[in-house]
Amino acid sequence: MSFRERLQSWRYNLVPDHLVGEILTKRWTDNAIPFLALVATLGVFGSVIPGFFKLSSLQESTRQLGEFSMVVTGMTVVMLGGGIDLSVGSIFALSCFSAVYVFFILEQSIWLALVAALATGLIFGAINGYLVGYLRLRAFLTTLVTFIFGRALFDILVTTYAADVQLSQASSDVLDFIGDGTFWGLSVSVWLAIILAIVTHIALTRSRPGWHVLAVGGSRRSAHNAGIRVRRTVFMTYVFSGFCASIGGFLIACRLSGAGPGTGLNLEIMALTAAVVGGVSLGGGRGSVVKGLMGAIIVLTMTNGLIRLGYGTGTNQMVLGIMLAVAVTIDIRWLKNRHKVLNEVYVAPVYLKMGETQSAVPGSGTPYQLDNRLSVADHIGLGELEGPEDVILDRDDHLYCGTRHGEIVRFFAPDYVRSEVFAHIGGFPLGLAFDKSGNLISCVGAMGLYSVSPEREVKRLSAETSRSWTSIVDDARLRDPNDCDIAPDGRIYFTDSTKRYDAHDWALDSIENRATGRLLVYDPRDGSTKTLLDGYRYTNGVCMAHDGKSLFFAESWACRVHRYWLEGPKAGTAECVIRDMPGYPDNINRASDGNYWMAWLGMRTPSFDLSLRHPDMRKRMTRRLPQDEWLFPNINTGGVVKFNEKGGIVEAMGDLSGAAHPMVTSMREHKGYLFVGGILNNRIGRYKIAGADPDWTSPASYWGAKS
């Protein structure tokens, strides 16, 4: 290995590039930017302002934060539902005034004042909700106008009653406690804000109305078509926002024991900025209460900090303006380009030097040399089938295969002309196997392991395994279950080819070439799924050895076949039995003469082998070229190979014309014939094997002669 290659292998095999893409697929990355902004803001102001973190100073700022974050929580919910509420400042001020009026002027109890404040907020919110939700007016302008309206009303009321409030003798211990007291070290407003945030968070993430809000915000039309009452949901978000703002207003009434012209001034732009800076998306559907709270802390720290640093009038607005513009722009750009970024960085190729191989060229004299035998195979279902990845025959000689449309199709013996849809599963049924009682077990691409009873009942056996501790991408889910086979004791051994790509993206996995394939076992006795082996380059076909004490499985992109021992001294370990083949192996099945058939889905090429030693080149290729122009493994020529128990190659056959069976992903021997399938083919081939046992069938080989 040259020094350059060694460097490349270190660079691309040891540096975990793939984690960048995996992290970007996570929804919590949306939280990372506001969180960093929060830490930075607190850090900067904490270090610039002396005594910023002192208890007394925090006490006062958190009181304000409690009121503010409630307003932001309401705003967050409205924005999640796809709207916006600019009238929160007015609702806040009017609720504050209602409480003050009831308490100081009417001299009623503080609880009645609370009721008055809440009623004000709910009514105001209901007006907004009616206009925006039911009349479908534009949220921004409508709430802007109700904001002006509310503000004008508040200004009139405050100037009219200010003197009366000043002269009032009313007082209450409860009011003083709410305004100034603490409970376990935290002020009442902070406690209320925390409770409100938790309740709202649970409601949004765990309850039907909350999901409806997110659904409406995510896609109004789809929500409507799904039967959600969109208008009522939107209405309720504004009522909730009014409710939140009114609690905030009540709290400030208690804290300041009055209402002034400055109450709730600029609150709407602050709350909006907080929600957007926190990462609540404009237009709805994306965001959370926690994000809103992070934004609230950032904005309040920034504005209060600037005041305490002594910057003059207007600085706040300037900073709010900058923050709002930057946050909105980032939000829009991020939303728009996230998938592009993800597409660019997700494929992270690794270095692999493939071993020298023997030639498969016809006439080269090696055991791998292909011939043209498969080109004379009869065809079954020509033009009716799309993508019979695996084929299998039952005891009555009927033929089954999966299709691209998520169906399992049955062709009737003896001539295989008539066919029917045996079962519809969905996904892409790949590997097939019959168990002892005649259930058809299938690995369904993108879905999991399924069982179809002879009565055509579809049952899911497994869709997940245990999750590994260190993985970032969710590797509990089976993304590409590929082939399965069943041990004499009934346990189902199957492969999951890759953790990083969905089934239909298998070609991307070949370019990346990262070893994430697994061998798993499903135990029908307790329904558990366990991972047996991990870290292979696209695990593919599985086949029980004739004695049932071990199994063979194919590792496609490494062109190897391994043997995994179920019993005996090597139980639980795997060893490589065939290495450095000239083709990419796919499914493996038993042959009547005690050997094994193996399908080749494609052939290695010097150019692709070379590209595997240049991960940098493949990385550039995936980033800069359109997918049509990428270098892929050659899947235009495949074949069928027979190997023996020891891993020695017995013979190989192919279709050199490429007309009938260019790519072979599966073959099954049955009564002297070989049935050949291909995942990109439009037919099943039937080929008469010279000298094969005319009575041998696979079900009999596995489960004994028919009883």
Partner 1 sequence: MNAIGRPSFRSLNQEGIVFAIAVALFAAAAIGLPGFLTADNIVAIVRSVSVLGILALGMAVVIIGRGIDLSAVAIMAMSVAWYLQLLNTGTPDGLAFAYVLVGVLAIGLLNGFLVAYADVPAIFVTLATGSFVFGYVRSQLITQDAVPVPQGHWVELLGGLRFLDIPVEVFVFAGLAFLFFLFLRYTKWGRYIYFAGDNPVAARNIGIPVRPMLVLRYVLSAFVALIAGLLTAASLHSINTRVVNSTLLYDIVLVAVIGGIGLSGGRGGVRNVLVGAALIGILLNAMTIIDIPLLYQNLIKAAILLGAIIVDGIINPRDEQTAQQGDI
Q: Which residues of the chain form contacts with partner 1 (CB under 8 A)?
A: 82-84, 131, 135-142, 144-146, 148-149, 151-153, 155-156, 159, 219-221, 224, 269, 272, 276, 282-284, 311-322, 324-325, 328-329, 332-333, 336
Q: How far is the CB of 220 from partner 1 (least distance, A)?
A: 7
Residue with Cβ nearer partner 1 (169 or 313): 313
Half-sphere exposure of 328 (CA within 13 A, CB side): 11
Residue environment code for 190-201, b if the CB has 16+ CB neighbours within 10 A, otherwise e: bebbeebbeebb
Residue with Cβ nearer partner 1 (42 or 269): 269
Instruction: Return the amino acid letter for 390.
Output: D
Q: How far is the CB of 152 from partner 1 (least distance, A)?
A: 4
Q: DSSP label at 435?
A: -
Q: How far is the CB of 316 from partner 1 (least distance, A)?
A: 7
Residue with Cβ nearer partner 1 (317 or 359): 317
Structure tokens at 425: 């599963």
Residue with Cβ nearer partner 1 (323 or 423): 323
User: CA-CA distance, 362 to 403, in Å (whole number)?
Assistant: 32
Q: How far is the CB of 277 from partner 1 (least distance, A)?
A: 11
Q: How far is the CB of 223 from partner 1 (least distance, A)?
A: 11
Burial of 578 (0-12, 13-18, 19+ CB in 10 A): buried
Q: Look up tokens 């479908």; give the residue.
A: 136
Cite the DSSP H helix spans in 464-589: 506-512
Residue with Cβ nearer partner 1 (85 or 586): 85
Q: How far is the CB of 266 from partner 1 (least distance, A)?
A: 9
Structure tokens at 305: 């900090």
Q: How far is the CB of 326 from partner 1 (least distance, A)?
A: 8
Task: Please check whether residue 298 is in contact with residue 43, taking contact to mean a CB–CB distance below 8 angstroms.
Answer: no
Q: How far is the CB of 676 from partner 1 (least distance, A)?
A: 48
Give the SS3 label for residue 349: coil
Q: How far is the CB of 318 from partner 1 (least distance, A)?
A: 3
User: CA-CA distance, 398 to 406, in Å (whole number)?
Assistant: 19
Task: Please check whether residue 613 is in contact with residue 389, taking contact to mean a CB–CB distance below 8 angstroms.
Answer: no
Structure tokens at 576: 């490589």
* Beta-carbon contacts of residue 135 (< 8 Å; ≥ 6 apart): none
Residue with Cβ nearer partner 1 (107 or 155): 155
Q: DSSP label at 636?
A: S
Q: DSSP label at 103?
A: I
Residue with Cβ nearer partner 1 (197 or 216): 216
Burial of 690 (0-12, 13-18, 19+ CB in 10 A): exposed
Residue with Cβ nearer partner 1 (314 or 414): 314
Q: How far is the CB of 253 from partner 1 (least distance, A)?
A: 21
Residue with Cβ nearer partner 1 (68 or 538): 68
Structure tokens at 701: 């080989």
User: CA-CA distance, 533 to 517, in Å (whole number)?
Assistant: 8
Residue with Cβ nearer partner 1 (84 or 591): 84
User: CA-CA distance, 398 to 589, in Å (whole number)?
Assistant: 18
User: CA-CA distance, 424 to 410, in Å (whole number)?
Assistant: 11
Q: How far is the CB of 100 from partner 1 (least distance, A)?
A: 18
Q: How far is the CB of 319 from partner 1 (least distance, A)?
A: 7
Residue with Cβ nearer partner 1 (227 or 312): 312
- Three-state DSSP string of 125-171: HHHHHHHHHHCCCCHHHHHHHHHHHHHHHHHHHHHHHHHHHHHCCCC
Task: Please check whether residue 359 is in contact with residue 369, taking contact to mean a CB–CB distance below 8 angstroms.
Answer: yes
Burial of 434 (0-12, 13-18, 19+ CB in 10 A): buried
First to last CA, the chain: 59
User: CA-CA distance, 258 to 335, in Å (whole number)?
Assistant: 43
Half-sphere exposure of 500 (CA within 13 A, CB side): 31
Q: How far is the CB of 346 from partner 1 (least distance, A)?
A: 24
User: CA-CA distance, 285 to 277, in Å (whole number)?
Assistant: 16
Residue with Cβ nearer partner 1 (76 or 495): 76
Task: Please check whether residue 546 is in contact with residue 702, taking contact to mean a CB–CB distance below 8 angstroms.
Answer: no
Residue with Cβ nearer partner 1 (67 or 85): 85
User: CA-CA distance, 650 to 247, in Å (whole number)?
Assistant: 81
Structure tokens at 140: 């921004």
Q: How far is the CB of 66 from partner 1 (least distance, A)?
A: 25
Residue with Cβ nearer partner 1 (261 or 426): 261
Q: How far is the CB of 143 from partner 1 (least distance, A)?
A: 10
Residue with Cβ nearer partner 1 (78 or 377): 78
Phi, psi of 204 (to 5 degrees): -70, -40
Residue with Cβ nearer partner 1 (220 or 255): 220
Q: How far is the CB of 162 from partner 1 (least distance, A)?
A: 13
Return the C-alpha torsion angle 225, 229, 231, 234, nearest 10: -110
